[in-house]
Amino acid sequence: MIKKTILLIISFVVIVCSKAQNGADSLANQLNLSKDSSAIELLKRDGKIYTVVAVLLLILICVFLYLWRLDRKIEKLNN
Amino acid sequence: MQKNWWKILAFLLLAYTIIAGFLVKMPSMQQLAQNEESTRNVFFHVPMWFGMILLYTISFGYTIKFLSKFNFTHDARAASFARIGLFFNILGILTGMIWARVAWGEYWNNDPKQVGAALCLLIYMAYFILRQSLKDEDKKARISAVYNVFAYFLMFPAIYIIPSLMASQHPNTAGDESFMVFKMNPALRYVFYPAVLGWTLLGIWIAQLHFKIEKLKQLN
């Protein structure tokens, strides 16, 4: 079960990273942030605060996914 | 899914809090020219306290329900919500200490609000010690319910009324000479109140999980 969970989280991180890159790309394009815009470019801007935001969002997503799974498991046991 | 919409709402609110909380431009405050960025803690430290009060309030509500109907499920729920409230209480004190080190120079300044928060923590810890010390289920539920009512009404003087009257360095108190973030910039409320709601919903979710686990334990 632990193995499964770790695998789930890792796969999720990979998905989020790839998706986030696309999302950040279009966001950067829309905002016209830089000419050769990419997620890394966005993360390197200014005081690099976007990096912290991305990290915190990833932590938040993982915590909520874990809670969701835990909720399901306990619900199953209760029935 | 229809029953769980508020869990998704909690996630969205907290994601919004993180994004907006870090990216919103903080108003410049002359008194705190160097600490300007640290006032972002308003979006993370203060919701711990609001969340704590709301969770203790829910616990109080279930206690009143228990005292009027003597249904033991209500007592178990009250205990679960108080436990997660206690968790928020501890987090509030710890995050406050980190902030105090930067803003006031020391982790612990014996600021009236800090002392009041510690007092509140001890009052609610006593609730759990009381619960654990009684073996008889009926006695345990009744006595701890009465104590919980007492604890709830002692919380407000401890963390709000008394510190407001004393010379505290916290905002909105008699000795306040520091920043009044919300009076200065009402726009920050658009980040702050969603943060409070998001953290509270997360707390309710965890409290429910705790309650379900306790229920399972009793069955086995």
pTM of the shown model: 0.79
Residue with tokens 């009684």: B134
Residue B119 burial (CB < 10 Å; 0-12/13-18/19+)?
middle
For residue B154, the model assigns a pLDDT of: 94
B33 CB neighbour count, 10 Å cutoff: 8
CB < 8 Å to A74, chain B: 209, 212-213, 216
> Which stretches of chain B sit within 8 Å of chain A by CB?
7, 10-11, 14-15, 18-19, 22-23, 205-206, 209, 212-213, 215-216
DSSP B166: S
Residue with tokens 């010690």: B129
A24-71 pLDDT, tens digit per residue, is: 554 445 454 444 556 667 666 667 788 888 889 999 999 999 999 999
Asked if A55 reaches chain B (Cβ–Cβ under 8 Å), the answer is: no
B171 CB neighbour count, 10 Å cutoff: 16
Mutation to test the A interface, candidates B3, B201, B209, most A Cβ within 10 Å: B209
Residue of B7, B19, B205 lying closest to A53 (CB–CB): B19
Q: Return d(Cα B14, Cα A40) in angstroms, integer.
A: 24
pLDDT for A12 beyond 80 = no
Residue of A60, A75, A77 lying closest to B18 (CB–CB): A60
For residue A19, the model assigns a pLDDT of: 53
Nearest to B47 by CA among B91, B79, B3, B107: B91
Query: Residue A57 and residue B18: Cβ atoms within 8 Å?
Result: yes
Nearest to B115 by CA among B100, B102, B103: B100
Q: Return d(Cα B78, Cα B82) in angstroms, integer.
A: 6
For residue A63, the model assigns a pLDDT of: 92
Q: What share of chain A is helix, strand, coil (3-state, %, to 5)?
A: 80, 0, 20
| Assigned token pair, B73 | 């499920």
Cα–Cα distances in angstroms (integers) from residue A67 to residues A78, B18, B189, in the given order: 16, 19, 28
Low-confidence residues in chain B, pLDDT < 50? 179, 181
Asked if A10 reaches chain B (Cβ–Cβ under 8 Å), the answer is: no
| Assigned token pair, B62 | 């279930």
The residue ranking higher by pLDDT, A3 or B55, is B55
For residue A67, the model assigns a pLDDT of: 93
Q: Return d(Cα A66, Cα A52) in angstroms, integer.
A: 21
B101 CB neighbour count, 10 Å cutoff: 13
For residue B169, the model assigns a pLDDT of: 76
Q: Return d(Cα B37, Cα B22) in angstroms, integer.
A: 9
Residue with tokens 């998905």: A15
Query: Residue A53 and residue B209: Cβ atoms within 8 Å?
Result: no
| Assigned token pair, B147 | 């104590």
Query: Residue A57 and residue B22: Cβ atoms within 8 Å?
Result: no
For residue B167, the model assigns a pLDDT of: 77
CB < 8 Å to B212, chain A: 74-75, 78
* Range B122-127, long-range pairs (CB < 8 A, 24+ positions): B123/B151, B123/B154, B123/B155, B123/B158, B124/B56, B124/B82, B124/B85, B124/B86, B124/B89, B124/B151, B124/B155, B125/B86, B126/B151, B127/B82, B127/B151
Confidence category of residue A14, pLDDT binned at 50, 70, 90:
low
Confidence category of residue A10, pLDDT binned at 50, 70, 90:
low
Q: What is the ipTM of this complex?
A: 0.74
Q: Return d(Cα B99, Cα B70) in angstroms, integer.
A: 43
For residue A28, the model assigns a pLDDT of: 47
Q: How far is CA B176 from the centre of its chain?
A: 22
B82-113 pLDDT, tens digit per residue, is: 999 999 999 999 999 998 888 888 899 888 99
User: Which residue on chain B is closest to A67 by alpha carbon?
Assistant: B206
